[in-house]
Amino acid sequence: MKVLFLGKKIWLAIGCGLLAVCLVALGVSLVLPDAEETTAEVQTPEPYRSGAEESSCISLGINVDWGEEYIPDMLETFADEGIVVTFFLTGRWADNNPELAADIAAAGHEIGNHGYSHTSPNASSQEEITDEIQRTEQSIKAATGVTTTLYAPPSGECEAHVLEAADNLGYDTILWSVDTIDWQKPDAATIIERVESKIHGGAIILAHPTASTVEALPTIIDDLKEEGYNFVTVSSNLGL
């Protein structure tokens, strides 16, 4: 009579089979984790629209791709009022107006990145957005010595691939919670009402260099100071 000797691997296979049979008999099912479930989901970064509502801090975010003739008056107003703001510059504007860009930085204001050519980010590829941000960073650095870390996408366009492109470059994407809509060039009284009727703690107020904005700024700043608000840069407002 031949004696059959089974190797360890055979015994292990038999043992696993018997265990599976027992579990099935007991009504227990073995479920292997789905491959997609084992991979951590990649979260799309969120843009910032405002700081903490319970804060007394608010910020002016000035997007600049034109209107350079109004920048000196804005800087004078901010100096007179003793406040700092955040200017988001396009790269092409910085290239064309390096002295003004340097004046903004020298006055102690924060400088952010507004893309190079103000093209639609949503309609651009992630690679194109990356190039826009990087070119602008280089232009602003050449004009001011500042390396930007805040990105205000043109027109506030912020689909997932836009946010991811900025995040991959180490940028925080900045939008707003109070919009002057001053690019439509309303009168100063309309701009004042738009801001003061919607102001709140942590607000980021979007504006542009226009004649009516220059006219409205002293009243807006004085009125909001009287209400107890404190003007700070966007990064300070957000704690970045």
Residue 111 lies in a domain: yes
pTM of the entire predicted model: 0.83
Range of the domain at 166: 57-238
Does pLDDT of 234 surpass 90? Answer: yes
Instruction: Report the relative pairing of strands 178-179 and 204-207 from DSSP bridges.
Output: parallel
CATH code of the domain covering residue 160: 3.20.20.370
- pLDDT tier for residue 44 given thresholds of 50, 70 and 90: confident
Rounded to whole angstroms, how far apart are CA atoms 139 and 93? 9
Q: Is residue 179 part of a domain?
A: yes
Is residue 122 in some structural domain? yes
- Give the percent of the chain with pLDDT over 90: 82
Burial class (CB in 10 A: 0-12, 13-18, 19+), 66: middle
Q: Give Cβ neighbours of residue 40 (< 8 Å, ≥ 6 apart).
A: none
Average pLDDT, the chain: 88
In a domain, 12, yes or no: no
User: 41 falls in which pLDDT band (50, 70, 90)?
Assistant: low
Is the pLDDT assigned to residue 18 strictly greater than 90?
Answer: no
Show the tokens assigned to 130.
């990356």
Distance CA 123, CA 189 (A): 35
Split into its structural domains, the chain has a count of 1
Residue 51 in any domain: the answer is no
Answer whether residue 55 shows pLDDT above 60: yes
Give the pLDDT of residue 43.
Answer: 85
Distances (CA, A) of 211 to 39, 111, 188: 53, 21, 8
Model confidence at 21: pLDDT above 50: no
Pairing of strands 204-207, 57-64: parallel
pLDDT (average), residues 60-89: 98
Mean pLDDT calculated for residue range 59-87: 98
Mean pLDDT of 78-101: 98
pLDDT of residue 126: 96
User: Which residue, among 240, 83, 66, has the nearest Cα to 149 in the 3D structure?
Assistant: 240
Q: Is residue 39 part of a domain?
A: no
222 inside domain: yes
Task: Compare 34 and 45 and report the one with higher pLDDT.
Answer: 45
What is residue 11's predicted lDDT score, i.e. its pLDDT?
A: 44
In a domain, 156, yes or no: yes
Q: What is the pLDDT of residues 121-176, one digit of tens each?
A: 999 999 999 999 999 999 999 999 999 999 999 999 999 999 999 999 999 999 99
pLDDT at 42: 66
Instruction: Indicate if the pLDDT at residue 1 is higher than 60.
Output: no
